[in-house]
């Protein structure tokens, strides 16, 4: 995800900023050690005095392409009661899950099949900075897709309301057409079962 906002500093911009020094890289390392620069990951820095950055935008930038989803998105939409401190995202550029422990927070990325990745993503803003996040429907299906197969409706109910503690009233407002469309792309039992379960609860 690209952004031209000042809070996000890449290595090239810092080298340019400190070009008057004989060894710009040494200066950058000194600033990181002194705490004046925060190294988020290789090639991505923040000015420790600048608090205008968005954690959600950073989540998109640390591993790209990606969008916020899973537990973080469910909490963002207030569908689960727990406070979520880890920024969980979906990505498809690497066929493996990745975790980044940074000085400002922990960011987790779960591999998602490219065939389902592009759908069910919305663009929002925080502090005037863009970030991508799953829709409610996509977030639920994403999390179901990474959980071991559920064998019955009873087990699905336990997963949704006891393990994940999703607000049942929130499920009534889900877009059933989007659930049906998305679930077919996962090729995963949990997602198909959830779509059937939701359809059966139509009032």
The pLDDT of residue 203 is 59
**Residue-wise pLDDT tens digits, 115-170:** 999 999 999 999 999 999 999 999 999 999 999 888 888 999 999 999 999 988 88
Q: What is the dihedral of CA 88, 94, 100, 104, to 10 degrees?
A: -60
The pLDDT of residue 15 is 92
CA distances 18 to 4, 23, 26, 31, 183, Å, are: 19, 8, 10, 11, 50
Band the pLDDT of 44: cuts 50, 70, 90: very high
Other CB atoms within 10 Å distance of the CB of residue 99: 11
pLDDT greater than 80 at residue 94? no
Kindly report the average pLDDT of the chain as a whole number.
92
Mean pLDDT computed over 57-79: 96
Question: Quick one: the chain helix, strand, coil %, rounded to 5?
Answer: 40, 20, 40
Band the pLDDT of 59: cuts 50, 70, 90: very high
CA distances 194 to 29, 34, 111, 201, Å, are: 50, 51, 21, 11
Alpha carbon distance 178, 25 (integer Å):
49
- Give the residue carrying structure tokens 């066929």: 95
The pLDDT of residue 5 is 52
pLDDT greater than 60 at residue 18? yes
| pTM as predicted | 0.91
Instruction: Report yes or no: 76 and 135 within 8 Å, Cβ to Cβ.
Output: no
Alpha carbon distance 57, 104 (integer Å):
13
Band the pLDDT of 26: cuts 50, 70, 90: very high
């Amino acid at each position: 995800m690209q952004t031209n906002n000042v809070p996000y500093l890449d290595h090239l911009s810092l080298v340019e900023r400190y070009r008057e020094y004989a060894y710009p890289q040494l200066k950058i390392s000194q600033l990181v050690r002194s705490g004046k620069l925060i190294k988020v990951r290789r090639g991505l820095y923040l000015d420790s005095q600048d608090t205008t950055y968005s954690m959600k935008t950073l989540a998109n930038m640390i591993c790209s392409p990606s969008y916020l989803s899973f537990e973080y998105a469910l909490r963002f939409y207030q569908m689960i009661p727990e406070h979520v401190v880890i920024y969980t995202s979906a990505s498809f550029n690497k066929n493996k899950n990745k975790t980044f422990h940074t000085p400002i927070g922990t960011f987790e990325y779960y591999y998602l099949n490219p065939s389902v990745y592009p759908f069910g993503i919305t663009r929002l803003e925080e502090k005037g900075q863009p970030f991508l996040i799953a829709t409610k429907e996509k977030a639920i299906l994403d999390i179901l897709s990474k959980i071991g197969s559920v064998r019955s409706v009873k087990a699905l109910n336990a997963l949704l309301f006891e393990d994940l503690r999703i607000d049942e009233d929130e499920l009534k407002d889900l877009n059933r057409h989007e659930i049906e469309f998305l679930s077919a792309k996962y090729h995963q039992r949990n997602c198909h079962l959830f779509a059937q379960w939701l359809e059966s609860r139509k009032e």
